[in-house]
Structure 1
Amino acid sequence: MNEFVNADPAELAKFSELAHRWWDPDSEFRPLHQINPLRLEWINQLSPLEGQKALDVGCGGGILSDSMARKGAEVTGIDLASKALRVARLHALEAQTPRVQYREISVEELAQESPGSFDTVTCMEMLEHVPDPQSVVTACAHLVKPGGWVFFSTINRNAKAFALAIVGAEYLLKMLPQGTHEYAKFIRPSELAGACRNAGLDVLQVRGMQYNPLTGRYWLSGDTSVNYMFAARRLST
């Protein structure tokens, strides 16, 4: 076991309290259900999942893990929130999801245990919740095979992101519980790009994700001012 677990107990408790609501599409996790098809298709276009070994870091209740398995990948979902993992396992049993398993283990510990084991690694909506994002990025890079893909999603740190992701989403529209995000933990694309370079990852595509509260529609764009995603590959040398 690592001496340092890169997790905030308050963050784990926050999501554990909501664990039973992960698979309710009208719950606090509704935005994740709504954006999942968009990000799944983007991942699958760049790194076709059929027949791959995929790792979902910070999998929570398994929304992305489950959908990647249904695309034909052999998926491992990892998280440190015990209650969320129990929900993920229960859903996999009830939905008879093939080729998915869940483990309560940190990404750093798994990187020591199984380096270079996965064709695709995803880490979505997690980096803004951990004390040391660089540690997570480095561990993801160690876990993917040379030439394999690593996908990250997080939130930019600027006035617009504060207004939309915190004030708008949590307080005005009540799309998320108040306190879900801390502005100081948001990550600028330049900072994430630097973390990827330090870890030996080559960032090949950056996409923004936008939302229209009037229509309830999400779409991918080139606007990374609030929510954004990185697609990077591990350098083969």
Structure 2
Amino acid sequence: MTNVDPQELAKFSELAHRWWDTESEFRPLHQINPLRLDWIDRHAPLKGRRVLDIGCGGGILADSMARRGANVLGIDLATKPLKVAQLHALEAGTDNIEYREIAAEALAADVPASFDTVTCMEMLEHVPDPSSIVQACSTLVKPGGWVFFSTINRNAKAFLFAIVGAEHVLQLLPKGTHEYARFIRPSELAQWCRNAGLEMADTRGMEYNPLTKRYGLSGDTSVNYLIACRKPA
């Protein structure tokens, strides 16, 4: 069985043609991308590295990492977003990037310990078994390499901000983008990382200011958060 929810694939495939429209439903991804890109690059400089982006969608993060000088493979199981990502790479002339329709677990079985850095951003909360993805990330990264995750905490504040606020009040995201039961507490993700043999290196929160309409990194992990891990050499 593939670790995928067909309804989640359909949801993002339906909007695939709007992925690179910075004023579309994907506007938040475009706005947070410079923050997460710089955060990744600070921990694990991208230039010249072999990087895997799991759940790459239309390629917003993957493309930006390639433009920082990384040799990037983006994988996803949604066909339409992948085609959008491939087309954008051609149109933008982005070098050093490749996209494949393959599950993280399948790639881990094929090419273990092949990447200097593995990213899995805004994806864990959309799959039936996120711990399986974490294990695949650990298998795919080389000893001494870095793994980066971002997801959403599971608590009342996260429900209020990420679903009620973002989807219904501010309409930053389409209704139904997230399901509260699939949100992941930092303690849960940390345990999965430890179980997979990864060592925690850094945790950051990501906040949205509705007055300035800007995102920023902070120490508050109560809603959106990022985790950086290393695999021992």
- Corresponding residue for residue 21 of structure 1: 18
- Corresponding residue for residue 153 of structure 1: 150
Mapping of residues 1-237 of structure 1, within 5 Å: 4-236=1-233
Q: CA deviation at 1:214?
A: 1.1
What CA deviation, in whole Å up to 9, does each residue of 1:9-38 have, x standing for no partner? 000000000000000000000000000000
What CA deviation, in whole Å up to 9, does each residue of 1:38-92 have, x standing for no partner? 0000000000000000000000000000000000000000000000000000000
Aligned residue identity for 1:143: L
| Secondary structure in 2 matching 1:13 | helix
Aligned residue identity for 1:145: K
How large is the Cα RMSD of the aligned pairs? 0.4
Aligned residue identity for 1:114: V
Q: CA deviation at 1:235?
A: 1.9
**Which ranges of structure 2 fall in alignment gaps of 5 or more residues?**
none
Q: CA deviation at 1:217?
A: 1.0
- The CA distance in 1 between the partners of 2:74 and 2:22, in whole Å, is 20
**Which ranges of structure 1 fall in alignment gaps of 5 or more residues?**
none
Aligned residue identity for 1:37: P
- The CA distance in 1 between the partners of 2:61 and 2:214, in whole Å, is 19
Q: CA deviation at 1:218?
A: 0.7
Q: CA deviation at 1:225?
A: 0.1
Q: What's the TM-score, normalizing by structure 1?
A: 0.98
In the TM superposition, structure 1's runs of 4+ consecutive aligned residues that sit over 2 Å from their partners are none
What CA deviation, in whole Å up to 9, does each residue of 1:103-130 have, x standing for no partner? 0000000000010000000000000000
Aligned residue identity for 2:193: C
Aligned residue identity for 2:49: Q
Of all paired residues, the percent bearing the same amino acid is 72
| Secondary structure in 1 matching 2:167 | helix
- The CA distance in 2 between the partners of 1:234 and 1:16, in whole Å, is 33
- The CA distance in 1 between the partners of 2:196 and 2:231, in whole Å, is 9
Q: CA deviation at 1:162?
A: 0.1
What CA deviation, in whole Å up to 9, does each residue of 1:109-164 have, x standing for no partner? 00000100000000000000000000000000000000100000000000000000
| Secondary structure in 2 matching 1:24 | coil
| Secondary structure in 1 matching 2:82 | helix
Aligned residue identity for 1:33: H
| Secondary structure in 1 matching 2:20 | coil
